[in-house]
Structures are given as structure tokens and as C-alpha cells.
């Protein structure tokens, strides 16, 4: 599997050329604890030169493992751009690496609040009722949320004053 997509400008026909294949998911280089690639980046592109730019049009997609913001379960969701249009500036070289442009285009489509009901295999996206004990009446058999009797939140905050003065 390729680590990059390099376009050789001298061999690129003036009318453009089709490129398809896969790039290793390692190109995303995402930090631990963030979404992780669950497979390769697939591309099916038409690439054509226009003056000092390459224009890439077509389809790119890559699957990722996200953590649901509601259930905290991991799930796979494929980011697909069916009609991607990417312009890459040509510098003074005979080859252009468009890998970073493809990577960025996919990352821009990441969901801001990933939910498991929007994954490739949708699952029910409901919070576990155990975490809703604060909102439940005591007669439901759930323990009420812990509260300090006789104190309110403001007096607790007032106890914190003067912390910045300590050295």
C-alpha cells in the first residue's frame, strides 16, 4: 500500500489523467485518544494541470474509529467525499506530492460530535440511565445525587477565595 500519491508532471497529459488506488491510513498521523483510521484512504481522481495548479476532482474516502459523544462506545464511520475538488499549487519541481492535500480534505469532514447512530453500522445512541440518577425522583429506586446538606454552592466557592494569595 502506498504512503503517498506523487504526480509526475512531465508524464501528465495536458487533458489530464485518472488516478485510483489506496494510501495507508498511517498518513493521518492522529494523536492517541483521537479518532483513528480503520483502513486506507481510497481515491478515484481525475488530475489535470491548469497553469501553476493541479486540479484533483473525484471521490476520496477513509474509515475511522470514533468515540460516540453520548454512549462513549467506539464505532466506525467512513468519511466520503463523492465530488471532491482540490487545487494544489505546483512549485518548481517535476513532481508534486498531493498526499497532504487529500489528508486535509478528509480531516475537514470529521464530525464535530460523533454519534454511533451515524456510523457505518448505526447503533442506538442512548445514554445509560444509570448516569441520569440526578434527574430521577427517589421513588424510582435509584440513589439520589450526593448533596452537602446545610451548604450551598456559593459558600463553597467563597471558601476558595484567597487561594491566589498563598505562596
- Tens-digit pLDDT string for the chain (167 aa): 789 999 999 999 999 999 999 999 999 999 998 999 999 999 999 999 998 999 999 999 999 999 999 988 999 999 999 999 999 999 888 899 999 999 999 999 999 999 999 999 999 988 866 666 555 555 656 555 555 555 566 666 666 766 665 55
pTM of the predicted structure, to 2 decimals: 0.74
Can you tell me the distance from the alpha carbon of 130 to that of 27, in angstroms, rounded to the nearest whole number? 40
Domain boundaries, the chain: 6-118
Q: Give the Å distances, CA to CA, from 95 to 2, 12, 44, 84, 130.
A: 16, 10, 19, 22, 57
Amino acid at each position: 500500500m502506498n504512503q503517498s500519491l506523487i504526480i509526475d508532471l512531465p508524464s501528465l497529459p495536458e487533458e489530464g489523467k485518472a488516478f485510483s488506488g489506496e494510501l495507508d491510513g498511517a498518513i493521518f498521523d492522529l494523536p492517541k485518544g483521537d479518532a483513528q483510521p480503520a483502513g486506507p484512504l481510497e481515491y478515484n481522481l481525475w488530475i489535470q494541470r491548469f497553469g501553476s495548479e493541479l486540479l484533483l476532482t473525484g471521490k476520496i474516502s477513509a474509515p475511522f474509529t470514533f468515540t460516540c459523544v453520548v454512549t462513549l462506545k467506539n464505532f466506525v464511520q467512513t468519511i466520503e467525499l463523492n465530488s471532491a475538488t482540490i487545487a494544489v499549487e505546483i512549485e518548481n519541481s517535476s513532481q508534486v506530492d498531493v498526499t497532504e492535500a487529500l489528508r486535509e480534505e478528509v480531516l475537514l469532514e470529521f464530525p464535530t460530535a460523533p454519534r454511533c447512530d451515524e456510523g457505518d453500522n448505526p447503533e442506538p445512541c442512548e445514554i445509560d440511565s444509570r448516569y441520569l440518577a440526578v434527574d430521577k425522583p427517589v421513588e424510582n429506586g435509584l440513589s439520589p445525587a450526593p448533596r452537602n446538606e446545610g451548604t450551598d454552592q456559593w459558600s463553597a466557592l467563597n471558601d476558595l477565595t484567597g487561594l491566589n494569595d498563598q505562596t
